[in-house]
Each structure stands twice: as C-alpha cells, then as structure tokens.
Amino acid sequence: MITSTHPPAADPESKLRPSRYGIALAVSALVIVALIASSILNYVFLDTVPGRTSLYGLLAVALITLGTFILVRAYNRDRATRRVHLIRAAVLIGIGVLLWLLVIDVFLYTQSAGPGVAAVCALACLPTTAFGLWVVRRMDRNHKEPWRLVLVAAAWGAIVATSLVVWGETVWESSAQHTLVPGPGLDTSLAFMAGILEELAKGLAVLLLFLVMRNEFDDVVDGIVYGAAVGLGFNFLESISYMTNLYSIFSPEGFGGVAAGIQWYGRQVLGLFFGHATYTAYIGAGVGIARQLPTMRMKVMAIGAGFIIAIAGHFSWDAWATFFPIQNTLFGLVEIHLRTLIMTGPFTAGLIALLLFGIRYEGQNLLDQMQKEAATGQGAILPQEVPILASPWQRLRQRLQALNRAGPSGYLRVSRLQTAQLDLAMERWHRERKEIDTPLEAEQQLREKVIQLRHWVAA
Amino acid sequence: MGSVTDIQLRTLYRTLLVFATVGVVILAIGLIQFAYFERPGQASGVKANIVGVYKYDPAAGQTTGPDRAEYARNEEFAAVVDWSSIPSNLTVDARWYDSFGSIEGEVGPGTPAGLTNDKVVPVQVPPGYHFVLPGRYTFVVERLQDGVPVEVLGRRFVLVDRT
C-alpha cells in the first residue's frame, strides 16, 4: 500500500511564496471586483440578454472559481485531508456548472434559439474540444500535465474569461458604433477590442494558474499547454454562442442548421487549434519562459511579449480576414481553408517552433538530471533506466510490456513509476536552477516515493 | 550544463521577443489603418436631419406610421432624410448597415441637392431571403472625401426582433 503523497509544497521560510501568493490574491481580487462591477453595470445600464446573464451567472462563476482553487490546492495536502478538499471542490464545481448551464439556457440561448438547440450545439462542441485538450496535453512529451489542471484551465477559459469580457466588449462596441464611421475604421476598432480584451481575460487565467500552481508550471512547454487549454475552453463557449445566435437568425429562412453547422466547422474543426488556442498559448509560452528567467525585467518582458503576440494574432484575424477574397462558388470552400492557413498559420507555426524547441530543451535537461540522479546510487533512477525514461516511445514500450505481463494494473503501476521518476528529475532541475521554493526534504520524499513505487511494481 | 541551459533559455526568450516585435508591427499597421479610415480633424460640425425611421411599403415606395426604433422581422422600414439640412458643397451618402456590418441599402454618393428625390432610404431584404435579418441596424448619413466616408453627419439605430 502506497501511503506517500506529494511533498509539501511550501517552504515556510521561502521568500518567494508570500509575494507570489500576494500577487495571485491581488489579481484574483481584481478579477472578482471586475466581474461584480461588470455584471452590475451590465444589468443596470445595458439591460441586454448577455448583460442579464452576467449578473445571474455571477454566483456560478464564483462557485466554479472557488471550487477549482480548492481542487488544485487539494493535491498539495496530505492524503488524509485531501479527500475532504476534493469532495468540497467537486460539490462547488458541480453546483456552479449546473447553475451556469441553467443561466445560459434560460437567459441567453433560450431567448436566442431555445434550450434544445443550445444543448445540441454544446454536445456538438464537446467531442472536438475534448479532442483538442487531449492533443494539447499529449504535446508535452516529457512530463505530462495533470488532467485536473488542464481541465481547470479550460473551465476558466470557458466561464471566467468569457464572463470578464462581456462588459468591456459591450461598452467598447457600443461607444464605437455611436462615434465611428461604419466600415473599415469601425471594424479595425472592434478587432482591437477583441484582441485586447479577450486575450487579457484569457491571459489572466494563465497567469493565475502560474501564480497558484507554480510547481506544476515548469517551463515554456507547460505554459503552451495551459495557455492552449484556456483558449480551447474559451473557444468552446464562444462556439456555442455563435452557433445558437446564427441558428436563431437564419432558421426562419430555412437554413438555421446549416448556418450553425458552418460555424461549428469553422470554430471547432478548422479553427480548433488555429485560433484562440494558438493566441493564448503564446501568453502561456511567455509565462513559461518567464518562470525560468533570472531577472524581474526579463520576466516582465517575456510575459509582455506573450501578451503582445496573442493580441496581434487575434487582431490580425479579426481585422483582415474579411480582406481575403472568398468567392461564392465551390472554390470558396478551398479559399476558406486557405484563409485560415495563410492568416493564422504563421502564428501557429511560430508556436510549434517554440514548442519543439521547448520540448528539446526540457528533454535534454531532464536527461541530464536523470543521469545525475542515477550517479548518486540512491536507487530512485537506475543507470539502465535513463535511456528509457528519456524517450517517450521507450517509456510507452515499457508500459506496454507491463500490460502484456500483468494487465492494465501493471501498465498503470509502471506509468506511475515513470511519472514519479520524471517528477524527481524535474524537481532536481528546478532546484539546480534555484527556481523552486519547496524544501530539500521534498526532493527526498519524491525519491522515497519512487523507491516505494518500484517495490510496488516489482511485487 | 547550466550554461547550455542558459543559452537555450536565452534562445527561447529572444525568439519570443522577435515574435513580439512582429506583433508590434502588426498592431502599428492596425493603428495606421484605423487612422486612415477614421481620419482625425474631420469634424465639420454639420448635422444631418434624419426625420425618422418608418414602416415602409416597397410596392408603393412610401413610408407609413410613426417614427419607431424597433421593428418585427417581417416588417420593412426606411429612414427619411432631410437633405436640405446639409450644406450643398458637401459630397454625402446614406447607408443602412446590418449587425454583421454589411450594407443593406444606400443612396448616393452625391450632393445634397442631387439626392433630394432620394429622401426615403429603405432597408433591402437580402436577395434570396424572405425577411430582413434580425439584429441591430445602423443608419448613417456620411460625408465623403476622395470617395472615402470620413464623417458621420447623422446616425440612427433600429432593432429588428428575432420573432
């Protein structure tokens, strides 16, 4: 029976943690104040359907925010109290999700297209978004992120980030429509609005994840994973919103389903990775790189750079996509794909380049740490295990061999052992670079956990 | 290994900064584009008198009923412009924009005197459609310079219900 848990996350004497948590608290307070103010202002002054949603949905947003916070922190607690915190988090998230669904069904989509259509649209977007999250998580070949955090990131993108932008976008759009000349000037202003406000809202979620769960936010690769997950969550809710809206507009003309289907294809297939996921992944990349940089100036520059690329990418699509000629013929279908490839493709290609370089950089450093750990002779990582652990394919082969020998439980045991060994290498890497605030005992605890798991696997 | 790590990290950092520079250029182009279409210093102080937005009978080409800001989907409507309220030396037009930003009806461009016979500006039902699309419509009377609209002289908003 394995009784060890994750090592204690905090060094009581660490000077880093209080300031990091202070920033996280300040950002959270800012988000909460913005949400409450936005919701009340929406309700009082705008009195639009989304405005009402943002007020009635406030409780749901608060429940989900609190629930996800308790969830991510639960894994830093010892096994005895973790269960209580997990149950608490599950109850809060569950109530929050139900309340949110009720709110959007009743106040937003019901008026627009009806709850049935909203449910069908949500169901249509679920498998594609789930696939997107699976791919994004798989991209981290050396050290996969926990599902709970990837899902929390997506939930924040879908619920908190979308709620944050409602007021800002409504005010910007309304004042622009009242003051600017309709046409390209107004379109450019609205493109700036979407780029700035939506990327700031999504970026806050990434930043908060980093501040609260820095121990799970290792480097540029993790940043890209969390950023893309936030983007996929945002894209999920935005897709439902556009699909139901267009359905309600075009259904009296007899092609509401077609209009919603085209939106689904554009946002959930063609634009699944070429859109919000790419833009917000840049913010994550900036935060991930900043996490390992030595000076505050460089950290701020890296985070700022991530935000600028994300805003520019989002802006360029919104402002210039209409300039790309789409003919009203069969070739128009090809042009739609070409437009996405040409306009968002370079941003996605740049991100893939950062990701590949990041994976190589992470892999080389983990290999180095595994070799150093093997050389200590403490038995957590054996010299002959190093080449296997360094290669995702060889790790998979080892797990499959365990599956053949001992069935699914064997596969899972070897998987846990490999994960713990990689955790140890990652911990060593951060400690060597002095970018970790857990005490040295935490590393020893991880080592003991690996040794216990090894006995378990052998048994 | 520490120095190798630092070199790799620096490469990542610099790559990100290069991308951000491209991002700044994109945003700067966006600002220039905005400034071109929304030219500063174009306020002439002229106000166009939009008499109202009325229900429209396309067969008779006439407006009926009171001035309203909200219409049902199966109703057609038109704006009525008092072109005499605008100085005669300006080049102007009038346009309806739907909530997608598409032009759904226009008159002009021309001088106010030349547009006197076009005082009723109806919203067009898009070709192949039975009704106007729901959403928020914007009606503007614009002043043009070198063929580009540079100033809105009058503006009205109309909501078309979904039902």
- Based on the fold, state whether residues B79 and B151 are members of the same structural domain: yes
Q: What pLDDT does A28 receive?
A: 67
Select the residue from A49, A109, A188 to test the B interface by mutation, using most B Cβ atoms within 10 A: A188
Can you give the pLDDT at residue A135? 94
| Least Cα separation, residue B130 to chain A (angstroms) | 7
Element (H, E) at B3: helix B2-37
Taking CB atoms and an 8 Å limit, are B16 and A309 in contact across chains?
A: yes
Q: Is A13 exposed, middle or buried (0-12, 13-18, 19+ CB in 10 A)?
A: exposed
Token couple for A206: 């990434």
**Radius of gyration of chain B measured on its C-alpha atoms:** 24
Q: Is residue A53 over pLDDT 80?
A: no
**B95: closest chain A residue by CA:** A182
For residues B118 and B78, state if they share a domain.
Answer: yes
Listing DSSP states for A351-364 in one string gives: HHHHHHHHHHHHHH
- In chain A, which residues have their Cβ closer than 8 Å to the Cβ of B134? 248-249
Q: What does the pLDDT read at residue A9?
A: 43
Taking contacts as CB-CB distances below 8 angstroms, the residues of chain A near B142 are 181
**Domain boundaries, position B98:** 49-160
B121 with B69, same domain? yes
Q: Which of A184, A285, A315 sits opposite B26 (nearest CB)?
A: A315
Quote the pLDDT of residue A124: 93
Say whether pLDDT at A5 is over 50.
no
Q: Is residue B88 domain-resident? A: yes
Nearest to A431 by CA among A423, A440, A419, A420: A440
How far apart, in Å, are the Cα atoms of A64 and each of A38, A70, A102, A156, A243? 18, 10, 14, 8, 24
Nearest to A217 by CA among A25, A443, A437, A453: A437
Q: Is the ipTM of this complex over 0.95?
A: no
Contact, B90 vs B110, CB < 8 A?
no
Interatomic CA distance for residues B48 and B108, integer angstroms: 14
Chain B residues touching residue A301 (CB < 8 angstroms): 13, 17
For B30, which of A178, A182, A319 is closest by C-beta distance? A319
- pLDDT class of A270 with cuts at 50, 70, 90: very high
Tokens, residue A211: 């501040």
A181, B155: Cβ pair inside 8 Å?
A: no
**Residues B94 and B22 occupy one common structural domain:** no
- Give the closest-approach CA distance of A288 to chain B in angstroms: 10
**Do B81 and B120 reside in the same domain of the chain?**
yes
pLDDT of residue A130: 95
Residue of chain B minimizing CA distance to A219: B9
Domain-located, residue B43 = no
For tokens 């009242």, name the residue. A178
Residue of B nearest to A220 (CA): B12
The answer to whether B27 contacts A361, with C-beta atoms less than 8 Å apart, is: no
Nearest residue on chain B to A176, judged by CA atoms?
B38
Spatial distance between the Cα atoms of A209 and A153, rounded to a whole number of angstroms: 7
Mean pLDDT, rounded, for A218-232? 93
| Greatest mean pLDDT range, A274-288, A403-417, A418-432 | A274-288
Q: Is residue B151 part of a domain?
A: yes
Phi, psi of A6 (to 5 degrees): -60, 150
Give per-residue pLDDT as tens, A70-91. Answer: 777 776 666 667 777 777 777 7
The enclosing H or E element of A305 equals: helix A296-320
Q: How much of chain B exceeds pLDDT 70, in percent? A: 96
Domain shared by B20 and B53, yes or no = no
A138 or A67, which is more confident: A138
| Tokens standing for residue A432 | 């060597």
pLDDT value, residue A8: 45
pLDDT for position A451: 87
* b/e burial code for range A65-100 (CB count within 10 A of at least 16 → b): bebbbbbbebbbbeeeebeebbeebeebbeebbebb
* Chain A residues inside the 8 Å CB shell of B101: 182-183, 186-187
Please indicate whether residue A295 or residue B17 has the higher confidence score (pLDDT): B17
Does residue A24 or residue A321 have the better pLDDT?
A: A321
The reply to whether residue B11 touches residue A311, judged by beta carbons under 8 angstroms, is no
Predicted confidence (pLDDT) per residue in A347-375, tens digit: 999 999 999 999 988 888 889 989 998 99
Q: Which residue of B has its CA nearest to A355?
A: B12
B61 and B124 co-located in one domain: yes
Q: Where residue A94 falls among pLDDT bands split at 50, 70, 90?
A: confident
Tell if the CB–CB gap between A358 and B12 is shorter than 8 Å. yes
Please tell me which of the candidates B5, B20, B151 has its beta carbon nearest to residue A308.
Answer: B20
Q: What count of other Cβ atoms lies within 10 Å of the Cβ of residue A408?
A: 9
Say yes or no: B129 and B79 in one domain. yes
CB contact under 8 A, A305 and B19: yes
**What pLDDT does A114 receive?**
72
Written as six digits, the tokens of A250 are: 């075009």
Q: Tell the burial category of A57 from Cβ atoms under 10 Å away from its Cβ (0-12, 13-18, 19+).
A: buried
Residue A45 has pLDDT above 70, yes or no: no
Residue A24 has what pLDDT?
67
- Model confidence at A216: pLDDT above 90: no
Write down the mean pLDDT value for chain A.
Answer: 82
Q: Is the pLDDT of residue A14 over 80?
A: no
Which residues of B lie closer than 8 Å to A, measured between beta carbons? 1-2, 4-5, 8-9, 11-13, 15-17, 19-20, 22-24, 26-27, 30, 33-34, 36-38, 73, 95, 97, 101, 129-131, 133-135, 138, 140, 142, 149-152, 155, 157, 162
Give the residue from B90, B82, B89, B91 showing the smallest Cα distance to B156: B82
CB contacts of A364 in chain B (<8 Å) are: 4, 8
- Who wins on pLDDT, B105 or A97? B105
Kindly determine whether residue A361 and residue B157, on different chains, have CB atoms separated by under 8 Å: no
The answer to whether residue B44 is domain-embedded is no
Quick: pLDDT tens for B126-158: 888 888 888 889 999 999 988 888 899 999 999
CATH number for the domain that contains residue B88? 2.60.40
* Interchain CB distance below 8 Å, B23 and A187: no
In a shared domain, residues B29 and B65: no
* Residue contact A293–B9, C-beta within 8 A: yes
Structural domains counted in chain B: 2
In a domain, B26, yes or no: yes
User: Lowest mean pLDDT: which of A7-16, A142-151, A183-192?
Assistant: A7-16
Cis peptide before B109 (omega within 30 of 0): yes
* Secondary structure (3-state) at B150: strand
**CA–CA dist A220, A358 (Å, integer):** 6
Q: Which residue has the higher pLDDT, B142 or A406?
A: B142
Nearest CB to A361; choose among B8, B30, B142: B8
Set of chain A residues whose Cβ sits within 8 Å of the Cβ of B12: 220, 289, 354, 357-358, 361
Q: Over chain B, what is the mean pLDDT?
A: 88
Q: What does DSSP say about strands B103-110 and B91-97: parallel, antiparallel, or unpaired?
A: antiparallel
Q: pTM for this one?
A: 0.82
Which residues of A are less than 8 Å from B141 in CB distance? none
How many angstroms separate the Cα of B126 from the Cα of each of A288, A323, B4, B97, B108? 49, 21, 63, 12, 19
Residue B22 lies in a domain: yes
B53 and B34 share one domain: no
* pLDDT value for A2: 38
pLDDT digits (tens, 9 = 90+) for B66-103: 999 889 888 889 999 999 888 988 899 999 998 888 88
- Distance in angstroms (rounded) separating the CA atoms of residues B70 and B77: 10
Which residues in chain B have Cβ-Cβ distances shorter than 8 Å to A433? Answer: 2, 5
- Could you tell me if B55 and B122 lie in one domain? yes
Is B29 found in the same domain as B5? Answer: yes
- Residue A245: its pLDDT value, please? 84
CB-CB under 8 Å, A354 with B15? yes
Whole-number pLDDT of residue A156: 83
CB contact at 8 A, A61 and A103: no
Strands B148-160 and B70-71: parallel
pLDDT in tens, A377-395: 888 898 898 999 988 889 9
3-state secondary structure of B105: strand
CA distance A139 to chain B (A): 18
